[in-house]
Amino acid sequence: MSGFGNLFRTTAFKLSLFYLAVFAITIFLTLGYVAWNAQRLVHAQMISTIDAEITGLAEQFERGGTRRLVGVVNRRSRSPGASLYLIATREGRPIAGNVEALSPELLARVGQHNIEYERVGDDGRPARVHRAIVRIYHLPGGNRLLVGRDIEEQQRLGEIIRRAFGWSLLLVGVFGGLGGWAVSKRMLKRVEDMTATTQDIMAGDLDGRLAIKGTGDELDRLALALNAMLDRINELMTGMRQVSDNIAHDLKTPLTRLRNRADEALRNATTPDELRSALESAIEESDNLIRVFNALLMIARLEAGNAVDLTAECDAAEIVSGVVELYEAVAEEAGIPLEAAIEPHLPVHGSRELLGQALANLIDNAIKYGDSREGGNMAGPITVTARRNGDRILITVADRGPGIPAEDRERVRERFVRLENSRTRPGFGLGLSLVNAVARLHEGDFRLEDNAPGLSATLDLPASGNA
Amino acid sequence: MKILIIEDDQEAAAYLAKALREVGHVVDHAADGLDGYGLAEAGEYDILIVDRMLPKLDGLSLIRSLREQGVSTPVLILSALGQVDDRVKGLRAGGDDYLPKPYAFSELLARVEVLARRRGATAESEPTRYQVGDLELDRLSRRVTRAGADIELQPREFRLLEYLMKHAGQVVTRTMLLENVWDYHFDPQTNVIDVHVSRLRAKIDKGFERTLLHTIRGAGYMVREPNARDAGAREAGRSA
Neighbouring C-beta atoms of residue B196, cutoff 10 Å: 24
Residue B170 exposed, middle or buried by CB count within 10 Å (0-12, 13-18, 19+): buried
Q: Which of A292-301, A396-405, A415-424, B155-164 has the lowest mean pLDDT?
A: A415-424
Question: Measured between CB atoms, does B186 come within 8 Å of chain A?
Answer: yes
What pLDDT sits at residue B237?
Answer: 39
Chain A residues with CB under 8 Å of B83 CB are 297-298, 301, 307-308
Question: Measured between CB atoms, does B104 come within 8 Å of chain A?
Answer: yes
SS3 A102: coil
Would you state the torsion angle of the CA atoms of residues A271, A275, A280, A282, taken in this order, to the nearest 10 degrees?
160
How many Å apart are CA A435 and CA A299, to the nearest integer? 9
Give the residue from chain A lying closest to B190, CA to CA: A364
Within this chain, do residues A49 and A162 fall inside the same structural domain, yes or no?
yes
What pLDDT sits at residue B49?
Answer: 92
- For A108, residues 6+ apart whose C-beta sits below 8 A from its C-beta are A144
Within this chain, do residues A81 and A191 fall inside the same structural domain, yes or no?
yes
Higher local confidence (pLDDT), A377 or B90: B90
Chain B residues with CB under 8 Å of A432 CB are none
Contact call for A360 and B156, based on CB within 8 A:
no
What pLDDT sits at residue B207?
Answer: 81
What backbone torsions phi and psi does residue A350 show, to the nearest 5 degrees? 160, -165
Within this chain, do residues A53 and A189 fall inside the same structural domain, yes or no?
yes
Kindly state whether residue A246 falls inside one of the protein's structural domains: no
pLDDT band at B230 (very low <50, low <70, confident <90, very high): very low
Higher local confidence (pLDDT), A11 or B120: A11
CA distance A297 to chain B (A): 9
pLDDT band at A423 (very low <50, low <70, confident <90, very high): low
Contact call for A283 and B104, based on CB within 8 A:
yes
What pLDDT sits at residue A145?
Answer: 85
Contact call for A353 and B195, based on CB within 8 A:
no
Contact call for B184 and A326, based on CB within 8 A:
yes
Do residues B184 and B136 touch, judged by C-beta distance below 8 A? no
Contact call for B190 and A307, based on CB within 8 A:
no
Within this chain, do residues A283 and A171 fall inside the same structural domain, yes or no?
no
Whole-number Cα distances in Å, A227 to A186, A206, A212, A334:
21, 11, 10, 52
Do residues B78 and B4 touch, judged by C-beta distance below 8 A? no
B149: which strand partners?
Answer: B146
- For A341, residues 6+ apart whose C-beta sits below 8 A from its C-beta are A383, A384, A385, A386, A387
What pLDDT sits at residue B236?
Answer: 39
Within this chain, do residues A299 and A358 fall inside the same structural domain, yes or no?
no
Q: CB-CB: which of B102, B189, B199 is closest to A360?
A: B189
Chain B residues with CB under 8 Å of A297 CB are 82-83
Here the CATH number for the domain that contains residue A418 is 3.30.565.10
Chain B residues with CB under 8 Å of A290 CB are 102
Do residues B151 and B143 touch, judged by C-beta distance below 8 A? no
> Is the entire prediction scored with pTM above 0.80?
no
How many Å apart are CA A382 and CA A363, to the nearest integer? 8
* Whether the predicted pLDDT of B124 surpasses 60: no
Contact call for A330 and B191, based on CB within 8 A:
yes
pLDDT band at A212 (very low <50, low <70, confident <90, very high): confident
Give the residue from chain B lying closest to A355, CA to CA: B186
State which H helix or E strand residue A245 sits in. helix A218-268
pLDDT band at A449 (very low <50, low <70, confident <90, very high): confident
Q: Which of A127-136, A258-267, A330-339, B1-10 has the lowest mean pLDDT?
A: A127-136
How many Å apart are CA A234 and CA A207, to the nearest integer? 8
Within this chain, do residues A369 and A425 fall inside the same structural domain, yes or no?
yes
How many Å apart are CA B175 and CA A287, to the nearest integer? 13
Chain A residues with CB under 8 Å of B196 CB are 326, 329
The answer, yes or no, to whether the previous bond of B102 is cis (omega within 30 of 0) is: yes
Q: What is the mean pLDDT of chain A?
A: 81
Whole-number Cα distances in Å, A323 to A65, A173, A298, A354, B57:
137, 83, 20, 12, 39
Mean per-residue pLDDT, A151-175: 83
The number of distinct structural domains making up chain A is 4
pLDDT band at A424 (very low <50, low <70, confident <90, very high): low
Within this chain, do residues A188 and A106 fall inside the same structural domain, yes or no?
yes
Interface with chain A: mutation pick from B179, B181, B186, B194, highest number of A CBs within 10 Å = B186
Within this chain, do residues A229 and A351 fall inside the same structural domain, yes or no?
no
Chain A residues with CB under 8 Å of B184 CB are 322, 326, 353, 356-357, 360
Kindly state whether residue A48 falls inside one of the protein's structural domains: yes
pLDDT band at B5 (very low <50, low <70, confident <90, very high): very high
Neighbouring C-beta atoms of residue A333, cutoff 10 Å: 16
What pLDDT sits at residue B123?
Answer: 47
Kindly state whether residue A247 falls inside one of the protein's structural domains: no
What pLDDT sits at residue A395?
Answer: 92
What pLDDT sits at residue B238?
Answer: 38
State which H helix or E strand residue A432 sits in. helix A431-441
What pLDDT sits at residue A126?
Answer: 56
How many Å apart are CA A416 and CA A282, to the nearest integer? 23
* Whether the predicted pLDDT of A394 surpasses 70: yes
Q: CB-CB: which of A287, A295, A364 is closest to B104?
A: A287
Full 3-state SS string of chain B: CEEEEECCCHHHHHHHHHHHHHCCCEEEEECCHHHHHHHHHCCCCCEEEEECCCCCCCHHHHHHHHHHCCCCCCEEEEECCCCHHHHHHHHHCCCCEEEECCCCHHHHHHHHHHHHHHHHHHHCCCCCEEEECCEEEECCCCEEEECCEECCCCHHHHHHHHHHHHCCCCCEEHHHHHHHHCCCCCCCCCCHHHHHHHHHHHHHHCCCCCCCEEEECCCEEEECCCCCCCCCCCCCCCCC
What backbone torsions phi and psi does residue B55 show, to the nearest 5 degrees? -70, 155
Here the CATH number for the domain that contains residue A95 is 3.30.450
Kindly state whether residue A284 falls inside one of the protein's structural domains: yes
What pLDDT sits at residue A216?
Answer: 79
pLDDT digits (tens, 9 = 90+) for B55-82: 888 888 889 888 888 888 889 998 876 5
Within this chain, do residues A111 and A5 fall inside the same structural domain, yes or no?
yes
Neighbouring C-beta atoms of residue A382, cutoff 10 Å: 27
Looking at A335-351, list the stretches that DSSP marks H as alpha helix, in order from N- to C-terminal side. Answer: none
Chain B residues with CB under 8 Å of A325 CB are 156
Higher local confidence (pLDDT), A71 or A406: A71
List Cβ<8 Å contacts ≥24 apart for A438-443.
A438/A302, A438/A354, A438/A355, A438/A357, A438/A358, A439/A358, A440/A302, A440/A303, A441/A302, A441/A303, A441/A305, A441/A308, A441/A310, A441/A350, A441/A354, A442/A310, A442/A348, A442/A349, A442/A350, A442/A354, A442/A355
**Could you tell me which of A134, A129, A145 has the C-alpha nearest to residue A73?**
A145
Q: What is the mean pLDDT of chain B?
A: 83
- Distance, C-alpha B98 to centroid of its chain: 10
Mean per-residue pLDDT, A22-32: 85
How many Å apart are CA B126 and CA A182, to the nearest integer? 93
- For B155, residues 6+ apart whose C-beta sits below 8 A from its C-beta are none
Kindly state whether residue A368 falls inside one of the protein's structural domains: yes
What pLDDT sits at residue A256?
Answer: 86
Q: Which of A113-127, A400-414, B16-30 has the lowest mean pLDDT?
A: A113-127
Mean per-residue pLDDT, A200-205: 83
Kindly state whether residue A455 falls inside one of the protein's structural domains: yes
Question: Measured between CB atoms, does B85 come within 8 Å of chain A?
Answer: yes
* Whether the predicted pLDDT of B203 surpasses 60: yes
DSSP structural state of residue A465: S
* Whether the predicted pLDDT of A138 surpasses 50: yes
Residue B75 exposed, middle or buried by CB count within 10 Å (0-12, 13-18, 19+): buried
Pairing of strands A144-150, A126-138: antiparallel
What pLDDT sits at residue B232?
Answer: 40
End-to-end C-alpha distance for chain A, whole angstroms: 74
Within this chain, do residues A350 and A444 fall inside the same structural domain, yes or no?
yes
Contact call for A360 and B191, based on CB within 8 A:
no
Residue A191 exposed, middle or buried by CB count within 10 Å (0-12, 13-18, 19+): middle
How many Å apart are CA A432 and CA A446, to the nearest integer? 9
How many Å apart are CA B175 and CA A103, to the nearest integer? 132
SS3 A79: coil
pLDDT digits (tens, 9 = 90+) for A226-243: 888 888 888 888 877 877
pLDDT band at B122 (very low <50, low <70, confident <90, very high): low
Domain that holds residue A408: 308-462
Whole-number Cα distances in Å, A467 to A325, A346, A348, A357, B74:
25, 8, 9, 24, 40
Do residues B55 and B30 touch, judged by C-beta distance below 8 A? no
Q: CB-CB: which of A295, A353, A364 is closest to B84?
A: A353
Interface with chain B: mutation pick from A330, A367, A369, highest number of B CBs within 10 Å = A330
Neighbouring C-beta atoms of residue A151, cutoff 10 Å: 20
Q: CB-CB: which of B182, B184, B218 is closest to A280?
A: B218
Within this chain, do residues A120 and A215 fall inside the same structural domain, yes or no?
no
pLDDT digits (tens, 9 = 90+) for B81-98: 656 677 888 888 888 888
Kindly state whether residue A214 falls inside one of the protein's structural domains: yes
Q: Half-sphere exposure (CA, 13 Å, Cβ side) for A201? A: 18
pLDDT band at B161 (very low <50, low <70, confident <90, very high): very high
Mean per-residue pLDDT, B117-123: 61
Q: Say what percent of chain A tops pLDDT 90.
A: 2
pLDDT digits (tens, 9 = 90+) for A296-314: 888 877 877 666 777 788 8
Within this chain, do residues A114 and A71 fall inside the same structural domain, yes or no?
yes
pLDDT digits (tens, 9 = 90+) for A37-58: 888 888 888 888 888 888 888 8
Q: Does ipTM come in above 0.90?
A: no
* Whether the predicted pLDDT of A295 surpasses 60: yes
Q: CB-CB: which of A297, A330, A353 is closest to B192?
A: A330
List Cβ<8 Å contacts ≥24 apart for B136-141.
B137/B161, B137/B162, B137/B165
Would you state the torsion angle of the CA atoms of residues B98, B99, B105, B107, taken in this order, to the nearest 10 degrees?
-70
Kindly state whether residue A467 falls inside one of the protein's structural domains: no
